Amino acid sequence: MIALLVRDMRLAVRAGGGFGLGLAFFLIVCILVPFSVGPQSQLLASIAPGVLWLGALLACLLSLDRVFALDFEDGSLDLLASAPLPMEGVVSMKALTHWLTTGLPLVVAAPALGILLSLPTQGFMWLFLSLLLGTPALSVIGTFGAALTVGLKRGGLLLSILVLPLYVPTLIFGAELARRGAAGMDTQTPLLMLAGITFATIALLPIASSAVIRINLR
Amino acid sequence: MAMHVENLAVSRGGILILEGIDFQLSAGQALVLRGPNGSGKTTLLRTLAGLQPIADGKITYDIDSVAYAAHSDGLKQMLTVRENLEFWSSVFGTGNIDEAVEAFFLGPLLTRMAGALSAGQKRRLGLARLLVTGRPIWVLDEPTVSLDVEAVARFGETIKTHLQSGGSALIATHIDLGIPADILDVTPFKAKRPSLPQLDGAFQ
Amino acid sequence: MSTRRSLWEYANPRKFMGLSGAILPWVAVSGGVLLVIGLIWGFFFTPADYRQGATVKIIYLHVPSALMAINAWFMMLVASLIWLIRRHHVSALAAKAAAPVGVAMTIIALVTGAIWGQPMWGTWWVWDPRLTSFLILFLFYLGYIALWSAIENDDTAADLASILCIVGSVFAMLSRYAVNFWNQGLHQGASLSLDKEENVADIFYHPLLVSMVAFGLIFLALVLLRTRTEIRARQLRAYLARERMQ
């Protein structure tokens, strides 16, 4: 399974792997926001946590269709299914690769973009923490959506329709955690809920994803 | 006995394709599947590789002894030949690619990107994966596509070696590989039309 | 022939067709009649609320449709589980058939809620937890229907949609909890419950009960009808596939 992770990371960073595209998208969205709502720092500061969370979520979503599509097209997925790896492990590794190539760069870049959006000082730590805790859930849930649409020719739009409702709880608790942190309010409940959602999805959702992949391969 | 198939039926897209297939495959034996296009050879092989559910009947074998190779080789264009092979060898836990490299004359190509190979070279790399898996039963779907005459002959030799070392092979192919093989024509096993009352009850 | 009868017999498409064909007219007609009774009773023979005026009468559409919107999803969940565990085709098709009816119920609940909310709260829409939950439920329905329609192979679509339904149910519950936490809300408490003191008065309650039963029967009738259509469509595809074989 480590071999699969190494291979996928290698593919992601080599030419054509699409590494960094999600990050660039995130950057552009966050820069466009002041153009659309106006440059007042007061307003930007109050919407910054939500905008950064939404931007991160959309950036994750955009790269999801690549999670299984390439392996499906070149036959690797068939071969992996008949290899001595548990399918649950394969989908978990795929989600981890997605997080390392898309989620983690977003987490690291978000504080820098927080400056552009006038995020209050005490909010940076909470923004970073909320994204660090929440983006793995986005990758795991997204992998489930990608597994559902793997065999479809034009699955991209369907993938968004399937995955976005599933993102609602993560978005609510994640953005709430960042917002409350920035406003200096109590953060315990959203912190625990976000952590709970993330760990529960990491533990349970790969079972559903692997079942779905096996159904789609047959 | 490597594989024992009894009264097997396979279906594709919910429609029965082949039924009543019986055969045995023992260690050291090669079995060549024949039949016109669309006769269900690929579906049968995918079922034997465990990728599709069995519609009816029984296959007695160790599923973890099967190495499957299909039309698409699962090669990554942006990895080198060595990286491609090493990936599969660590997935299958064999950790040794030298034998495969030698058997398919891939030595000079090891540091090339798989995307830069010709179709025939890609095919050789895809087949080299079989040796890397270390599994005894090879299930091959049209393995010789885009191979030249020389490469086909060499592949025949590789299969012979594999058989002599106790392996077995199940091959869907139209050409003669120059190996001693039994032939199984799938045409007689074509599924019959279901009777109407049967359709009424379930949907099959 | 076994003498012990079991409910699962009706999972056989032919048995299901026979039974559903026999009861469908009765269910549909009694649902329609009860709806007319409930609405006329509620609209014309109950007093206006002292705070809400005549606006309150939309409750006879709002509450039953909201109830059925949730029950439809619950029915889909149960049917999906039955399909995954026992592989009864009728079950998968019933889940597929219930989804658009559930969407219709959700839209009715949202629209009547907006019409009710406008004079009461002075706005058509607020991001209240209940309203938001229904909007999210609507999104889940859309995803489920979209998945069914995107996949050609019937059994594959049934498997995938069932798994989506189960996973979606968990996330829908989570969303419900999340929006409660996210915004405390304007919506009044549940109109009906067994253990609360501030239930609606009997005079509103009886016609409401009638229209809830009516909505339940209409839902059942629509689902039966749609399931029958799905079964026929599937049999047709099976016949066509048979024709293509020699």
- Closest C-alpha to B185, from B61, B44, B71: B44
Determine contact: A215 vs chain B, CB below 8 A: no
CA–CA dist B155, B159 (Å, integer): 6
CA angle A200, A17, B75 (to 5 degrees): 95
Nearest residue in chain A measured CA to CA from B71: A75
CA angle A86, A90, A94 (to 5 degrees): 165
Give A167 or C124, the one with higher predicted confidence.
A167
Chain-chain contact of C181 with A205 (C-beta, under 8 angstroms): no
Chain-chain contact of A11 with B66 (C-beta, under 8 angstroms): no
Chain-chain contact of A10 with B72 (C-beta, under 8 angstroms): no
φ, ψ (nearest 5 deg) of residue B41: -65, -45
Helix (H) or strand (E) holding B198: helix B196-201
Determine contact: A74 vs chain B, CB below 8 A: yes
Chain-chain contact of B14 with C235 (C-beta, under 8 angstroms): no
Chain-chain contact of B199 with C235 (C-beta, under 8 angstroms): yes
CA angle B22, B134, B157 (to 5 degrees): 75
- Closest C-alpha to C74, from C54, C97, C102: C102
Confidence (pLDDT) at B204 = 42
Decide: helix, strand or coil at residue B35: coil
In a domain, C114, yes or no: yes
**CB proximity list for C142: less than 8 A, separation 6 or greater:** A161, A165, C103
Decide: helix, strand or coil at residue B8: strand
Q: Domain residues for C75?
A: 22-245
- In the block, residue with structure tokens 């023992």: B26
Neighbours of chain A (3+ CB pairs under 8 A): B, C
Confidence (pLDDT) at C66 = 92
- Quick check: C6 pLDDT over 70? no
Neighbours of chain C (3+ CB pairs under 8 A): A, B
List, in sequence order, every residue forming a beta bridge with C49; answer none if it has no partner.
C53
Confidence (pLDDT) at B196 = 64
Nearest neighbour of B193 by CB, restricted to C153, C155, C242 = C242
Q: In a structure prediction context, what are the per-residue pLDDT tens digits for chain B, which is 204 residues long?
A: 678 888 888 888 777 888 888 888 888 888 888 888 888 888 888 888 888 888 888 888 887 888 888 877 788 888 888 888 888 888 887 777 887 888 888 888 888 888 888 888 888 888 888 888 888 888 888 888 888 888 888 888 888 888 888 888 888 888 777 777 788 888 888 887 766 655 555 554
Chain-chain contact of B68 with A79 (C-beta, under 8 angstroms): yes
pTM above 0.95, yes or no: no
In chain C, residues 132-161 whose CB comes closer than 8 Å to chain B: 152-155
Number of structural domains chain C divides into:
1
Chain-chain contact of A75 with B70 (C-beta, under 8 angstroms): yes
| HEC secondary structure over B96-163 | CCHHHHHHCCCHHHCCCEHHHCCHHHHHHHHHHHHHHHCCCEEEEECCCCCCCHHHHHHHHHHHHHHH
**Strand bridging mode B15-25 / B168-172:** unpaired
- Quick check: A192 pLDDT over 60? yes
Confidence (pLDDT) at C235 = 82
**B79 within 8 A of B114, measured Cβ to Cβ:** yes
Nearest residue in chain A measured CA to CA from C151: A152
CA–CA dist B190, A66 (Å, integer): 38
φ, ψ (nearest 5 deg) of residue B199: -65, -35
Cβ contacts of B53 on chain C, cutoff 8 Å: none
CA diameter of chain C: 74
Residue A188 distance to chain B (closest CA, Å): 42
Determine contact: B14 vs chain C, CB below 8 A: yes
Determine contact: A5 vs chain B, CB below 8 A: no
- Closest C-alpha to A208, from A133, A216, A160: A216
CA–CA dist C21, C23 (Å, integer): 6
Nearest residue in chain A measured CA to CA from C137: A165
Confidence (pLDDT) at B198 = 58
Tokens representing C134?
């229904």
Q: Domain residues for A41?
A: 2-216
Cβ contacts of B119 on chain A, cutoff 8 Å: none
Cβ contacts of B72 on chain A, cutoff 8 Å: 73-75, 78
**A148 within 8 A of C162, measured Cβ to Cβ:** no
CA–CA dist B189, B44 (Å, integer): 11
CA angle C110, C112, C114 (to 5 degrees): 70
The CATH number covering residue C158 comes to: 1.20.120
Confidence (pLDDT) at C107 = 95
Chain-chain contact of B191 with C245 (C-beta, under 8 angstroms): yes
Determine contact: B91 vs chain A, CB below 8 A: yes
- In the block, residue with structure tokens 């959702």: A205
- Quick check: C194 pLDDT over 70? no
CA–CA dist B67, B38 (Å, integer): 23
CA–CA dist C154, C233 (Å, integer): 11
Decide: helix, strand or coil at residue B30: strand
CA–CA dist A168, C180 (Å, integer): 13
**A8 within 8 A of A93, measured Cβ to Cβ:** yes
Confidence (pLDDT) at B195 = 67
Decide: helix, strand or coil at residue B67: strand
Determine contact: C42 vs chain B, CB below 8 A: no
Confidence (pLDDT) at B145 = 81
Interface test with C, best of B51, B196, B203, B204 (most C CBs within 10 A): B203
**C171 within 8 A of A168, measured Cβ to Cβ:** yes
Interface test with A, best of B65, B66, B68 (most A CBs within 10 A): B68
The pLDDT confidence band at residue A165, using thresholds 50, 70 and 90, is very high
- Residue pairs spanning A and B at CB distance below 8 A: 72
The pLDDT confidence band at residue C1, using thresholds 50, 70 and 90, is very low
Cβ contacts of B198 on chain C, cutoff 8 Å: none
In chain B, residues 15-34 whose CB comes closer than 8 Å to chain C: 15
CA angle B46, A98, A198 (to 5 degrees): 105
Confidence (pLDDT) at C200 = 63
Give percent of chain A with pLDDT exceeding 70.
99
Single-letter amino acid code for the residue at B154: R
Determine contact: B100 vs chain A, CB below 8 A: no
Sign of the alpha-carbon torsion through C170, C171, C173, C178: positive
**Strand bridging mode B168-172 / B182-185:** unpaired
Nearest neighbour of C136 by CB, restricted to A165, A205, A211 = A165
User: Crossing angle of helices A123-148/A87-98, nearest 10°?
Assistant: 140
Nearest neighbour of C14 by CB, restricted to B13, B193, B201 = B201
- pLDDT tens digits, B119-156: 888 888 888 888 888 888 888 888 888 888 888 888 88
CA–CA dist A214, B11 (Å, integer): 16
Cβ contacts of C147 on chain A, cutoff 8 Å: 148, 158, 162
Mean pLDDT rounded to a whole number for chain A = 89
**A53 within 8 A of A175, measured Cβ to Cβ:** yes
Chain-chain contact of B70 with A218 (C-beta, under 8 angstroms): no
- pLDDT tens digits, C119-169: 878 888 888 888 888 999 999 999 999 999 998 888 889 999 999 999 999
The pLDDT confidence band at residue A209, using thresholds 50, 70 and 90, is very high
Interface test with B, best of A4, A8, A82 (most B CBs within 10 A): A82
In a domain, C121, yes or no: yes
CA–CA dist A87, C88 (Å, integer): 26
Number of structural domains chain A divides into:
1
Nearest neighbour of B199 by CB, restricted to C153, C154, C239 = C239
Cβ contacts of B202 on chain C, cutoff 8 Å: 13, 89
**B126 within 8 A of B157, measured Cβ to Cβ:** no
**B32 within 8 A of B182, measured Cβ to Cβ:** yes
Tokens representing A14?
């080599």
CA–CA dist C162, C88 (Å, integer): 12
Q: How far is CA B137 from CA A17, A204, A217, B48, in A?
A: 34, 34, 21, 10
φ, ψ (nearest 5 deg) of residue C184: -75, -35
Determine contact: C51 vs chain B, CB below 8 A: no
- pLDDT tens digits, C15-66: 888 888 889 999 999 999 999 998 888 888 877 766 666 777 888 889 999 9
Lowest model confidence (mean pLDDT) among C88-92, C118-122, C173-177? C118-122
In a domain, C2, yes or no: no
The whole-number average pLDDT for the span A162-178 is: 92
- pLDDT tens digits, A72-127: 888 888 888 888 888 999 999 999 999 999 999 999 999 889 888 888 888 899 99
